[in-house]
Amino acid sequence: MTIGSTFNYPADTAQHAHRKKRSSKSKWAASFPNPPDLCFDYRTLVEQFNGIAQATEPHHKICIIGAGITGLTTARELYRCGFTNITLIEKSQRIGGRHLTALGNNNTDTVGRPPFEMGAMRMPFFNKSNELPKDGRSLMAYYANEFELRHTDFPNPGSPAVRSTGIFLREGSIDDSTEPTMLIWKNTDGKTPPPGQTLGSVFAKWKTFAERMTLIVSEHYGCEGWEHMWNSIVKKYESVSFRELVKMPSLDGWHHSDPGNFGGLGMTAQESAVFYAIGIGDGSWGAFYDVCSLYPLRTAIFGFSSHLQLIHGRVNVDGKPIASPYLNHPETLDSRGLAFNKPTYIGLGSLAESLLFIKSQETHESLYEHLIKSHSGFMTSSAVTKLKKLKNGKIRVYFDWNITQKEQAKKEFIDYDSVVMTLPSWLIETHISIENFSQEMLPFEVIEAYKSAHWETSCKVYAPLKKSFLSQNKKIPQAIVTDSLIHDVYTYRYNATNTYDCILLSYTWEDDATKLSIFTDKELVDRCIEDLDRILLKSANIKEKISPYIGRDNAVVQRWMNDKNSLGCAKLYRAGTYYDAMKLLKYNRDFSHTSGLYLCGESFSVDAGWTEPCFRGAIDTVINICSKTQADFNGDFTMHDYPLYKAEP
């Protein structure tokens, strides 16, 4: 879902917003656009020399479960602070989690192949429109700059980054055309509405609502009274589903006396059906119709969909990796000699690889070089099975080591002072038992919140695309949005060097992704190509197949609900459950100093499906571990400067 991606209104508005009185804590207050929870400039804290703090208990023993972006960021920043007794445990044979860059089938056929982003793929840097992406006040911008990651505008449907977007709805008869027609949307200036009466009406109603809310929010964000205003918005919309918001009557204007009320979109049933199927041309939103309306609001209004970026990797303009640690090694081994995926520094996978292998300026070694010095510093192919709180205050972590070689697998345990849980929350309930934590350490309401969390599934079908499609074909649109089985189609190029370009043949979420579970991977690839050909041939203004351009034999399919290390793609929350999600987000602040357990990352956030909450959750954990161990914070930061989460109606 890419709400609001057809225009960068939040980023544009930020250039001109009239600022109200700044908070007395303005040094640490975030600037708009940025997430509303918390209104805190994490980048200012992290980009200091020596990072967040200087450890006074460097040997405090810390275990981090999961080597996705959250776990790697937590480990790296703790190490920058001077904590040296760190263990990182990963169940699979690769790092990165739901950042999954595929280089050919099973990552074996890489010659001339572009990277396929099977998980996260388009990154908001939260920059204003008059700023370069890496100047955005976000952690994504900070790390992209730190690791020299190359990036370009993501070719989102309906955006200026694509030459045209095809819209095929109701078998080509959306505006009662005499013959099946694919509407062609060219939006090179970023301000052109989608074609046709129906889409134009849907677009206008969304734009009116979004622009009004963005303008008001941008004036209050980061100022005194912002927390009050955000809480007013939460109270208004936390029990309203996205489906209800779409049909809720619109308002003529916003009033100071009712600061949280921006009304709804005021769409008719027919307009709602169109909105369900294709949004305003940028992809189906129907999978998100039954989530809490606060999720799409925060996504659209706070910069999650402005100036989205495609990450090429730690590469030069031709897509060739620049000199980087372990790039040319035949293999990389963990602390106990087990091999895991070696770094390529290509695509979004380069972010996880850089976090592990690139040395920070404050440390003598990279995180990887430090961890592998210890026999249990970095363990892959190791599955945590139980956490047990001991009477001496430590936490015993039980794990199965070397699970990929069952004949050599071994059950072990190690005791730690602090344990950081970064796993998708469903994996905790299904794979890990938690024992001897009292209600003062881990309340039932927190356990219930992560057990009952709603995880969305997602399915992606990628294939190589002949370069002649983007170079020579002018008839078939570069991106296609439909209400058919395949839904959204993306085509794009990384560089001229790769033998092939990319086609994302089908991108689906929730029920639309679940429908595809009936097919084998090969059947699904064939079905997607056949359906796309059918749509193009049926469209009177196209009448051309795309299949001759597609390398179907080298297609790759990813179904996130079937991934045993994920059990879903993104954790969302339904109407009426926002405060349950907030209980997870504020757990570290309220209970971790007693429990020694930290809930960390996107799985315990309210901004699911994005990378920024992975970073923010990691830094939140580091802040709280530093506070518990009386570390010396840098930059005159104190816990009084850190905003409080509000988790009560």
Name the pLDDT band for 11 (thresholds 50, 70, 90): confident
Per-residue pLDDT at 462: 98
Q: What is the mean pLDDT of the chain?
A: 92
pLDDT by residue (tens digit) across 143-192?
999 999 999 999 999 889 999 999 999 999 988 778 999 999 999 988 88
CATH code linked to domain 1-33+194-296 = 1.10.405
User: What is the model's pLDDT at position 285?
Assistant: 80
Tokens of 439: 């209600």
β pairing state of 165-168 and 183-185? antiparallel
For residue 281, what pLDDT is reported?
A: 58
- From the list 308, 283, 285, the residue with the least C-alpha distance to 33 is 308
Q: What are φ and ψ of residue 262, in 5° steps?
A: -115, 10
Q: What's the confidence (pLDDT) of residue 649?
A: 61
The band of 594, judged by pLDDT with boundaries at 50, 70 and 90, is: very high
Domains 1-33+194-296 and 173-187+458-567 share a fold: no
User: Which residues on adjacent β-strands are paired with residue 88?
Assistant: 64, 378
- Per-residue model confidence as pLDDT tens digits over 351-361: 999 999 999 99
Residue with tokens 């960068």: 8
Domain boundaries along the sequence of the chain: 1-33+194-296, 49-94+333-449+573-641, 173-187+458-567
Are 601 and 68 within 8 A, CB to CB? yes
CATH number of 173-187+458-567: 3.90.660.10
**pLDDT score recorded for residue 607:** 84
Q: What is the rounded CA–CA span in Å between residue 132 and residue 307?
A: 10
pLDDT at 277: 81
d(CA 595, CA 442): 7
Domain spanning 49-94+333-449+573-641: which superfamily? FAD/NAD(P)-binding domain (3.50.50.60)
